[in-house]
Amino acid sequence: MNNRNPLSMSSKLTVVGLLVAAAGISTLFLTTSVTVPAIPIGPILLLALAALIGLGRWRWTPIAGVVMSIALVAGALIAPGLFDRLSNPAQVGAFVGTWVQMLGVFTAIVAGTVATIQNYQPQATIMGR
């Protein structure tokens, strides 16, 4: 009775983007390139959303990844030092971690938007004779 549709390619890319973003933020934390909070909520939420999208089959789940990714971009733009970390390869941990994070969140934004649109399109059915 549990008919689970396979994930679309765009949903899979959303999951990958969220996992990559979590890896980027974790790199920033591990290299102490940014202030590490007591509870690293960013990577935890990204991993939870990736699991929700990958394991759940609700139509709305990719948009949650998009919203989280947009919030991360907004937070990165508000926090000081984003452009310094993106443009200074001498600080390897900060440079790599920030680029990986941005690659992941922008992948999740684009793929999650496409996945959500696809999920809400009417399904074509083939009529038999």
What's the total number of domains in the chain?
1
The 10 Å Cβ neighbour count of residue 115 is 27
pTM (two decimals): 0.88
Q: Cβ-count burial of 24 within 10 angstroms (0-12 exposed, 13-18 middle, 19+ buried)?
A: buried
Neighbours of 112 (CB within 10 A): 29
Tokens of 51: 């699991």
Task: Note whether residue 128 is domain-resident.
Answer: no
77/119 Cα distance (integer angstroms): 30
List the domain range (segments joined by +) for residue 15: 9-118
Is 4 part of a structural domain of the chain?
no
Residue 94 inside a domain? The answer is yes
| Domain assignment present for 124 | no
The pLDDT profile of the chain, 129 residues, written as one tens digit per residue, is 345 567 899 999 999 999 999 999 999 999 987 888 888 899 999 999 999 999 988 889 999 999 999 999 999 999 888 899 999 899 999 999 999 999 999 999 999 999 999 988 887 666 665
Domain annotation covers residue 29? yes
Burial of 70 (C-beta count, 10 Å sphere; 0-12/13-18/19+):
middle
